[in-house]
Amino acid sequence: MISQLFAILHYYRTFATWSIAINILLLVFGSLNILVALITKLFLIVLLWYIVNQTEAKQKLTFYKNLGVSDFKLFGIVYCIDAIITVVFLSLINQFI
Partner 1 sequence: MIFEIDSVELYFKEKTILNGIYLKAETGKTTSLLGRNGSGKSCVLNIAFGTLIAKYSHIRLNNKPLKKPLYQTQLASFLPQYHFTPNQVKVSVLFKLFNVKWKDFIVEFPELTKYKQYKINTLSGGERRLIEIYLILKKNAKIILLDEPFNGISPLYIDKIKLLIEIEKKHKAIILTDHRYQDVIAISDAIYLIKNGCSKLINNLTELEDYNYLHQGSL
Among 21, 32, 60, 91, binds partner 1 (CB under 8 A): 60
**φ and ψ of 70, to 5 deg:** -80, 165
Q: To 10 degrees, what angle do helices 2-28 and 71-96 make?
A: 40
In one-letter notation, the amino acid at residue 71 is D
**In this complex, which beta carbon is closest to partner 1, that of residue 65 or of residue 84?**
65
Among 62, 92, 95, 97, binds partner 1 (CB under 8 A): 62
Q: Is 6 in the site for partner 1 (CB under 8 A)?
A: yes
- Build a one-symbol-per-residue string for 20-59: x at contacts with partner 1 by CB under 8 A, - elsewhere: ---------------------------------------x
Whole-angstrom Cα distance, residue 52 to residue 58?
5
Q: Is 17 in the site for partner 1 (CB under 8 A)?
A: no
Closest CA to 35 of 95, 76, 96, 87: 87
Q: Minimum distance from CB of 80 to partner 1 (Å)?
A: 19
